[in-house]
Amino acid sequence: MASDVKSEAAYKFLLKTSKNKKHHRLNKFLKETEIISIDSRQNKNLSLKFFIIKTIIGQQVSIGAAASIWKKTQILLNNKKRISLGDLSDCGLSRPKASYVNEVLSNQYLDCFTKKDLKKMNQADISDLFLKIKGIGPWTLGIIQMFYIGQEDIYLTGDLGIKKAGLDFFKSDNYDAIDYSPYRTYLCMYLWRSLDN
C-alpha cells in the first residue's frame, strides 16, 4: 500500500535524522516503537464540517471527555436538522464551544471544498480559509491539515503534549523541528505516542 511505503520512508528519515542530530533519546524511542501511519489517525467517513466539530470538541479536554461529548454530538448532528445552542450544551459542550460548532454548521462556504480541493491549496489559502472561523486557531488548523487533508509536514508547536515530549527529546519546549521536515506530522505522532509509554 502507498500509505505503508510513505510511513516507512518517514520512519527511516526520522530515525536517520535523530541519529545525525544526536537526539539520542528520540532515536532510541523510534527504534523500540512500531511504525505509525497518518491513515491510522484519519476517519475517512467524516465530512469536513464534522471533522472540524470533532476537533473543536477535542480542544483542551481529556481524550475520554472529548470522545463522550463527540458521541452525543454526532448522534444529534445525524438526527436533527435544526440544532440550537441548547441542544449542543445538552451534549456537554461549553457555551463558547456550542457557539463555535453552530458557526461551523451554518458556514455554507465550507460545503464548497472537497478534500481534493484542500490538498491543492497553498498554506496561505488554507490558513485564510480556516482561521477566520471562530473556534479555529493554529492548533485546530494544524489538526485539520494533518488528519483531514493529510499533510505530512505540520508541527504543532502550541500543543502541550508536543511541548512536553520536545522538552524530553530535544531539551526545548519550543523546538520547531525543522530538521525533521518534510515529515514533521509523523514526528508529532511519535512524540504523542512517547507520552503514552
pLDDT at residue 173 in the model: 80
Q: What was the pLDDT predicted at 196?
A: 86
Mean pLDDT for 59-64 is 82
- Split at pLDDT 50, 70, 90, the class of 41 is confident
Q: Say whether both 131 and 68 belong to one domain.
A: yes
What is the mean pLDDT of the segment spanning 154-174?
A: 92
64 and 105 within one domain: yes
Alpha-carbon distance 131 to 146, whole Å?
15
* Total domains present in the chain: 2
Domain of 104: which CATH number? 1.10.340.30
- For the four alpha carbons of 145, 147, 150 and 156, in that order, the dihedral sign comes to positive
What's the average model confidence in pLDDT over 118-132? 95
At 80, list the grid cell: 436533527
What pLDDT does 2 receive? Answer: 59
In the chain, pLDDT over 70 holds for what percent of residues?
98
What is the rounded average pLDDT of the residues 68-93?
94
111 and 131 within one domain: yes
Neighbours of 177 (CB within 10 A): 21
**133 within 8 A of 107, measured Cβ to Cβ:** yes
Range of the domain at 178: 2-41+153-196
Q: Residue 18 sits in a domain of what CATH number?
A: 1.10.1670
Domain co-membership, 186 together with 130: no
Q: Quick one: 81 and 14 in the same domain?
A: no
80-90, pLDDT tens digit by residue?
889 999 999 99
Q: What are the tens digits of pLDDT across the range 169-196?
A: 999 888 999 999 999 999 999 999 999 8
The predicted structure's pLDDT at residue 31: 97
Q: Cell 530538521: give the residue.
A: 179
Same structural domain, 37 and 116: no
Same domain membership, residue 61 and residue 140 = yes
| 74 and 110 inside one domain | yes
Please give the pLDDT value at position 68: 95
